[in-house]
Amino acid sequence: MAEEYIPVQYHAEFYINSTLSDPIASFSASTPFGAMSVGDYVDGRSFADAGHVARQLRITGLEHIFWEIENSHFGHKLMVVLEELDAAQAD
């Protein structure tokens, strides 16, 4: 018998310094986000709607959360912790 698959919803939330604060941005997609690693740089202009953030950011932490809504969908949330870099650190 063929196995039935249910859809997956993907979410990414971006935080400055800690996941205990409110995210500065969040995104949802029907396909997975690309791989991210601690130490990767993120252009702060990606979050133009989030107010003032440094132009250059670095990933300092990643956390994954998974859940299932029975007979509906799976969820995967990626929580990305960033630190703001000044111009000297960004080089």
Top-confidence residue, 24 or 55: 24
- Domain membership flag for residue 1: no
Share of the chain above pLDDT 90, in %: 67
Residue 80 lies in a domain: yes
Q: Which two tokens stand for residue 71?
A: 């007979």
Question: What's the total number of domains in the chain?
Answer: 1
Q: Cα 10 to the chain's mean position, in Å?
A: 10
Residue 26: C-alpha distances to residues 49, 66, 76 (Å)? 11, 16, 13
Instruction: Find the CATH number of the domain harbouring 55.
Output: 3.10.20
Domain that holds residue 68: 8-90
**Whether the predicted pLDDT of 91 surpasses 60:** no
Q: What is the value of pTM for the model shown?
A: 0.85
